[in-house]
Amino acid sequence: MRELPKVQTPYVDRAQQHEAGIMGMHIFLASEIMLFGGIFMAIAVIRQAHSQEVVEYSKELHYYLGAINTMLLLTSSFLVAAAVHMSRHARRKAVLALLVSAAFLGLLFLGLKGFEYWSEFQEGRLPVAGGMEKINSAPGRLFLNLYLVSTSLHAVHLTIGVIALLVVAGRIYTRRSALPQRSVVVETTAAYWHLVDIIWIFLYPLLYLAR
């Protein structure tokens, strides 16, 4: 897609195209919230049915690693929000630096999450084959299953987010998306990144801090 001087087909003017893009992204994010909603419902039901085991197994998770990861995501969200601000003012180099550093923080998150899975596996607390000798109760295993499902689903979304940030950075670097006219690509990607952050904001206390 080249940056055309005119707007694309169904649109009359650039403002209309911009608003449609933003709104489309927010509706997509609504569907993402509903997707994770099903997982949150499952967590709620397990918490209500087996609160004792949930607390017991939640205490064994590495809450400080989760806290560091939360910090990484909050910081990356800040950088991405700043990138949106800069893109509206056509600060091309600042936008590039902010997007790339946010993507780097995202990669750090994924690395730390991988380390966390690995250490849980070593300790025998990861519900996968060969890694669960310390898991003694069925509800406890169910809770850790949900932990694994929800954090890995989140990690998948974060991976997509990292790729999206890098793609947008690439488009801005090669000037295929001119700023500030096409700041909408930064804004929509940023919105997605913030939502992935928000989902983690809820997953963290529900999984790591059940007491």
Partner 1 sequence: MKTGVLFSVWVALSALLVATVVASFFLTGIPSLAAGLSIASIKAGLVFWYFMDLRGEKGLVRLSAVVAILWLFIFFLLVAPDYLFRTV
Partner 2 sequence: MSSVTNHDERPNPDNLDDPGLSETKTERVSYLRAGHTLRSWLFTTDHKRVALLYMMSITFFFFIGGIAAAFVRADLLTPSADLMTNEGYNRAFTLHGVIMVWFFLIPSIPNTFGNFLIPLMIGARDLAFPRLNLLSWYIFILGGIFTLFVLILGGVDTGWTFYTPLSSMYANGNVVLVATAVFIVGFSSILTGLNFIVTIHKLRAPGMTWGRLPLFIWSHYATSVILVLATPVLSVTLALIAAERLFGLGIFNPELGGDPLLFQHLFWFYSHPAVYIMVLPALGVVSELVAAAARKPVFGYKFVAGSSIAIAVIGFLVWGHHMFVSGQSIYASAVFSFLSLVVAVPSGIKIYNWTATLYKGDISLDPPFLFAMGFIGLFVVGGLTGLAVAMLAIDVHLHDTYFVVAHFHYIMVGGTVSAYFGALHFWWPKIVGRLYSVVWGRLSAMFIFIGFNFTFFPQFILGYEGMPRRYHVYPEQFQVLHDMSSIGASILGIAYLMPAVYLYYSLRYGQPAGNNPWNVTGLEWTIPSPPPKHNFDEIPTVDGPPYNYPVRKEAKHA
CA distance 65 to 113: 8
C-alpha span between 125 and 141 (Å, rounded): 9
Q: Could you say which of 55, 60, 121, 139 contacts partner 2 (CB under 8 A)?
A: 139
Comparison of 68 and 121: residue with beta carbon closer to partner 1: 68
Interacting partner of 16 out of partner 2, partner 1, none (Cβ under 5 to 8 A depending on kind): partner 2
Residues that bind partner 1 (CB under 8 A): 19, 22-23, 26-27, 29-31, 33-34, 37, 40-41, 44-45, 47-49, 51, 55, 63, 67, 70-71, 74-75, 77-78, 80-82, 84-85, 187, 190-191, 194-195, 197-198, 201-202, 204-206, 209-211
**Spatial contact of 165 and 99, defined as CB atoms under 8 Å apart:** yes
The secondary structure of 49-112 as a DSSP string is H-HHHHHHHHHTS-HHHHHHHHHHHHHHHHHHHHHHHHHHTT-HHHHHHHHHHHHHHHHHHHHH
**From the list partner 2, partner 1, none, which binds 77 (C-beta under 5 to 8 Å, kind-based)?**
partner 1
Q: Measured from the CB atom, is 27 or 64 closer to partner 2?
A: 27
